[in-house]
A and B are shown apart, each in its own frame.
Chain A
Amino acid sequence: MAGWKSPSENTVLGKPTPRLDGPAKVTGRAKYAYDVQPAGLLQGKILRCPHGSAQIISIDTSAAERMPGVGAVIITAKPGDIMRFAGQELGGVAAKSFDIAQDAVRAIKVSYKVLPHVVHEEAAMKPDAPNVRGADPNTSTPNTRSTGDTDAAFQSAAAVIEGTYSCAVRTHNSLETHGTTCKWEDDTHLTCWASTQGVFSVRDDFAREYKLPPANIHVITEVMGGGFGSKFGAGYEGILCANLAKKANAPVKLMLNREEEQIAVGNAPSATVEVRMAADGDGNITAVDAKLHGTGGISGAGVPFPYIYKVGSTKISQISVFMNSGGQRAWRAPGHPQASFLMESAVEDLAIKLGMDPLELRMKNDPSKLRISQWREGARIVGWDRRNAKPGNGKLAGNGRYKRGLGCGAATWGGGGGGGSQCKVIISNDGSVDVEIGVQDIGTGTRTYCAMIVAEELGLAVSAIKTNLGKTSLGYGVGSGGSVTTGSTAPAVKRAAEAAKEALVSAVAAKMGVDTDQIELIDGKVIVKGESGKQVPFKKACSALGPGGVTGDGKWDASLQQNGVAGVQFAEVQVDTLTGLVKVIKVVALQDGGVILNPLTFTSQVNGGVIQGIGMALFEDRKMCQLTGRMLNANMEDYKMPGSMEMPEFVSIAFENPTAKGVSGIGEPPVIPTAAAIRNAVLNASGAALYHAPMTPGRVLDALAAGRKG
């Protein structure tokens, strides 16, 4: 079976192609789970615990049940239950309008015995801290591992650095919140429009919940408004929605509001490392001795460490800290942006201590050949030789209030696919072509490359292909996590397109009385090789097909995908030494993704990763209140995310990997190195060594003052 063609042989693949759902999205016609409105729709709302920790004494729903317009009230918690964070779910209601549902939730009387809570990581680690997990302590058993002889390496080191680096808890803030619209077609058949990254995992959760065959559950996600790793499975809100719909005997929509989205359905855990790191005189990293902790609230947390570089010897000890806040969930390369920030910051400081160019030190210790070529190319594009030879001191920094500098960081990720995907390509006898696969397009461009692959095989324009995605009634598609969607989906689509093409060619060849290997599909035409002039338009040729047309089935093929992508980023920043404000001037991002199907959507994702990285570097920080146990900034103005005014110049490059044979997903890797690159650029610009992200103006001023003290 054929592999991917080389870029020069392609007519569709590898060319920048606008996404097919663009017109529906820009005109407001795209229907998200949030927008679906079946007749008789009720609005759902969840009742949540307002305390950091509490035991339920009693729940009285009578007033809510009596309220006009209320269709159903369901309570899932019971007296005696312990609530472990502010925002934990107790039940919910469905009512005629959004406002009535809200009133009804408010009318439910819950009496609590308030228990002590702890919502700050350092406080949760103290021996006398309120217990978060019942019988288990607030800190997990240390995960320890070691390689080589760190003691000897530290003794013979040319340079040693020691420091504590950390980054804050962040919240995903998907713009479409978690939730579903659920409609029971009869007692045993459920239709669910879900805002999810995995229609099939949602289906399976419902099937388990109701002990129904999966085929009875129809989950639909044609478009969805962001998940970033936090949206798999039906979730509490999905199951409650379906239960409310069942009880009210009406369709129910239950989407979280902004605060609920930030407190209850995931966050990126914090990470802190106390690290000693050594290098020899040649710049080889010889030892890393690290103690790490992080909190994912009521869930565990962890980061890969010492991340991507070759290290002679290691001694690592790692714990999770549990506290009374919502549990963490995967967020775009879970653990990696944190690991990158901690490690790349320490590596930068080590290079400076050693008196070595930080890029040279990285290239010396980087095991990836591909990344070495990216380092070189990126350095050329950003003009690495412009950097200040000493932190805060050089031509780029200048002598004024505003100082500029350069920094860099690197990423690794998988991005390969997995089995199970089933695609159908149908060519009808009117010449129409449909590609069908159940996988959802979460905004990454899946729908568009599915059509591009089929168009390439059949010699058609992308606009000639109709796509049908995001439904569990179609062939299986993977959940979109771990950047596996492209590596899992594209191979199945290509094989399905090849099979459909073979069936078409065979029918057409029989009709024309020629051998199948004489037929080519090019530019919307069916051409017989060698007989000049003998060609028919694709549409006309399809009339040779029977009334059912032809269908090509395709399954995943490992040979069409590859795992292990490389990326590097360079940042140029400006530090206002009077106010501590950091402005990112430019980010150069080089990202490998194996065989690149659509460079337009590819580089959009790279931009998006960089922008979320800027948020991590400079703004995003979940603030908890120990007084109330609640999140203080569960909104979109106090939880600051990057906006238009903070945008730098972007140089996002779909890096051509000369050895690539397969496709890879790259949703995750571009978010990894940005925060570290910015941190190191701030240091190069101003001499301010930052140890904590986000690097807020206050922290930058403190670091500048510490630097002046020496």
Chain B
Amino acid sequence: MSMDDRDQHDPNEPDVSRRQFLRGLSGSLAASAVLATGVEAVPLSPPSPPEPLEPPLAVGPRIKGQVKVRLNVNGQVKTATVEPRTTLLNTLRDDLGLTGAKRICDRGSCGGCTVIADGETIYSCMMLAVDAQGKKITTVEGLGTPEAMSPLQAAFVDHDALMCGFCTPGFVMSCTSLLKHNPDPTETEVKEACAGNICRCGTYPRIFEAVLAAAKRMRGE
């Protein structure tokens, strides 16, 4: 059922989830395989609960077993041995020990796993590690250290733009990217940059303050 973390279906049934689709696609391409096209309907018939809940999609054969990935993270080339289905997020956290990015929704809706890949923010839970190869990836650990924070990180602290802190790395990444693209944002632009991140403690107003203050400081005003 859908409380499963990963593949939301029986392995013998057609693949169903978005990520499963991506994963299969990636595997297929890597294996130079052709996408299958057959779509099989799964009827919903109560009282036995429908499983899967999502409509089925067709994919081709998968690569299986373990693959070695080379990732350029925070300016260093790192290698890990992962399954083809392993997300960039899980690889960063579980294999490379970079636990700043958080797995909160694991489906691209909360922004807690945001990293910067080739200059653009991405949700690292929505990208497979095998697909992240060749990209220049920056995680929150690559921006600053507790002793030498980036101006934005320092502004987050000064303005108390965090409480429990679990969403904070994701917001820091989104706002770092914003300031790179737009050094003089309006408050509305800051809000828009944060629209893909969710905070549950309720730190938004102070995040907006912190970003505007950091922008000002970085512009030398």
Give the CA-CA distance A672 to B2 in the complex, in Å. Answer: 33
Query: Are B204's CB and A647's CB within 8 A?
Result: yes
Say which one of A32-40, A334-342, A526-534 lies at the interface with B: A32-40
Number of residues of chain B lying within 8 A (CB) of chain A: 76
Distance in Å from the Cβ of A470 to the closest Cβ of chain B?
Answer: 13
Are A644 and B191 in touch, CB under 8 angstroms? yes
A35 CA / B102 CA spacing, docked (Å): 9
Q: Is the interface of B mostly helix, strand, loop or mixed?
A: loop
**A152–B167 alpha-carbon span in the complex (Å):** 55
CA A43 to CA B46, docked complex, whole Å: 34
Write the nearest CB–CB distance from B99 to chain A, whole angstroms: 4
Quick one: CB contact mask for B43-87 with A, threshold 8 Å, 1 for yes? 010111111000000000000000000000000000000010110
> What 1/0 mask marks residues of chain A from 595 to 606 whose CB sits below 8 Å from any chain B CB?
000001100110
B104 within 8 A of A: yes
Q: How far, in whole Å, are A32 and B162 apart by their CA atoms in the complex? A: 15
Across the two chains, which residue of chain A brings its CB closest to B4?
Answer: A102
**Is A214 an interface residue, CB under 8 A from the partner?**
no
Q: Give residues in B with beta carbon < 8 Å to A.
A: 1-7, 10-11, 44, 46-51, 83, 85-86, 90, 93-94, 97-107, 109-110, 112, 139-141, 143-147, 149, 153, 156-158, 160, 162-169, 172, 190-192, 194-195, 197-208
Nearest-Cβ distance from residue B68 to partner chain A, whole angstroms: 15
A-B CB pair tally, cutoff 8 Å? 227
Contact of A608 among B50, B103, B202 (CB under 8 A): B202
Whether A444 touches B163, Cβ cut-off 8 Å, given contacts A18-B158, A611-B202, A636-B198, is yes
Which B-chain residue is minimally distant from A87 (CB atoms)?
A: B3
CB contacts (< 8 Å) of B3 on chain A: these are 48, 50, 87, 257, 259-260, 263, 634
A-side interface residues toward B, CB under 8 Å?
Answer: 18-19, 21-32, 34-35, 37, 43, 45, 48, 50-51, 86-87, 97-99, 102-103, 105-106, 114, 116, 173-177, 223-226, 228, 257-260, 263, 442-445, 600-601, 604-605, 607-612, 627-630, 634-637, 641-645, 647, 650
A629 touches B49 (CB 8 A): yes
> Which residue of the partner chain, among B49, B102, B163, B200, contacts A50 with CB atoms under 8 Å?
B49
Once the chains bind, are A175 and B5 in contact (CB under 8 Å)?
no
A442 to B163, CA, bound (A): 8
User: From A117, which residue of chain B is reached at the shortest CB distance?
Assistant: B47
What is the CB-to-nearest-CB distance from A175 to chain B, in angstroms, rounded to a whole number? 4
Most central of B10, B98, B156, B162 by chain A CB within 10 Å: B162
B197 touches A644 (CB 8 A): yes
Residues of B within 8 A of A176 (CB): 102, 104, 164, 166
Residues of B within 8 A of A634 (CB): 2-3
Question: Known contacts being A25-B162, A175-B166, A644-B191, is A630 close to B1, with CB within 8 Å?
Answer: yes
State how many angstroms separate the Cβ of B8 from the closest Cβ of chain A.
Answer: 10
Select which of A18, A103, A114, A174 is within 8 A of B200 by beta carbon.
Answer: A174
Q: A444 vs B202: C-alpha distance in the bound complex, in angstroms?
A: 12
**Do A636 and B94 have beta carbons less than 8 Å apart?**
no
Contact A99 B83 (CB under 8 A): yes
Report whether B145 and A97 are in contact in the complex, using a CB–CB cutoff of 8 Å. no
**Residues on B with beta carbons closer than 8 Å to the beta carbon of A600:** 160
